[in-house]
Amino acid sequence: MGFPERRLRRLRRTPALRRLVAETRLSVDDLVAPLFVREGADEPLPIVSMPGQVQHSVTSLVAEAKRLSSLGVPGLILFGVPDRKDAVGSGAFDPDGIAQIALAEVRSALDDELVLIADLCLDEYTDHGHCGVLDARGDVDNDATLELYQRTALAQAAAGADIVAPSGMMDGQVAAIRSALDGAGRSDVAVLAYAAKYASALYGPFRDAVEVTIAGGGDRRAYQQDPANRREALAEVALDVAEGADIVMVKPAGTNLDVIAEVRAAVDVPVAAYQVSGEYSMITAAAGHGWIDGAAVAAESLTAIKRAGADFVLTYFAAELAEQLGG
């Protein structure tokens, strides 16, 4: 049956009709807030390239976690910004490192009200800015890095993380971390794998936020995934699931909706997607000039990510959107 008998506009006529037949629904339950905590900070420090976002002090981080919980946001992912960096990123696995201190404080303040996810990587903590330790040639040593990831996972679990999220794109990272956690009696801690993490040009503001500069003007294309590749993403995801990942992630989200859809069809574990700093900053910058309705564009972009198949989204718009949704 076609026009004029069939008229698809009938079900678009009123807001109530549109709600009734909506195929994708964006909820506060779909949101995870990325937060930064700065060692030695006495107050929140604005991140210039990410308007509205800050490097938190431990005190302000706890307050923001409480606010997120009151809005109904179910989880946060934490990134530490240390005062001191070294060649092996020792602050990442130091029990007294900034991320571990902050995780423990949030856990103490909120108990199980929020899911606490700890980003598990070394780049914020290394003086060369790479996600692993370097060999004699200056390349990232995959296998030597895995042992440090294991130590980091155990430190984060001890500090109160519900989920550890390895983001370095080292081969074998999920299996190594799962083995370490299980061997230490922490089989309760889940692993969210940055499984398809692309070497994207959209990470610039994030690197400002965590104060990371890659030595010698280098990049991470030797270990993060080529943005031209789709089949490779499915292979990465399959390996991570086989190694024990409880959740897999696609990053960035907005430029990889096709990958999100294919991953969702391929696996039976939850699929996360990360709306990254560059996506956030482009929307907020355009909104700041009055060129777009920032709130509407944020909601539309997140709905598209959900429509592609993501079960939840890591987004810097989490609190703002939760307020709009009445969380």
Active site residues: 197, 251
Whether the CB-CB separation of 37 and 56 falls below 8 Å is answered with yes
SS (H, E, C) the chain: CCCCCCCHHHHHCCHHHHHHCCCCCCCHHHEEEEEEEECCCCCCEECCCCCCCEEECHHHHHHHHHHHHHHCCCEEEEEEECCCCECCCHHHCCCCCHHHHHHHHHHHHHCCCCEEEEEECCCCCECCCCCCCECCCCCECHHHHHHHHHHHHHHHHHHCCCEEEECCCCCCHHHHHHHHHHHCCCCCCEEEEEEEEECCHHHHHHHHHCCCCCHHHCCCCCCCECCCCCHHHHHHHHHHHHHCCCEEEEECCCCCHHHHHHHHHHCCCCEEEEECHHHHHHHHHHHHCCCCCHHHHHHHHHHHHHHHCCCEEEECCHHHHHHHHCC
Q: Could you tell me the two tokens for 199?
A: 């070497």
Q: How far is CA 299 from CA 28, 116, 219, 238, in A?
A: 11, 24, 32, 30
Whether the CB-CB separation of 37 and 79 falls below 8 Å is answered with yes
Q: Could you tell me the two tokens for 230?
A: 């789709």
Angle at 322 between CA 120 and CA 318, to 5 degrees: 25
Q: Could you tell me the two tokens for 94?
A: 């130091």
- Taking the CA of residue 121 as centre, how many other CA atoms within 13 Å lie in the half-sphere pointing to its CB? 26
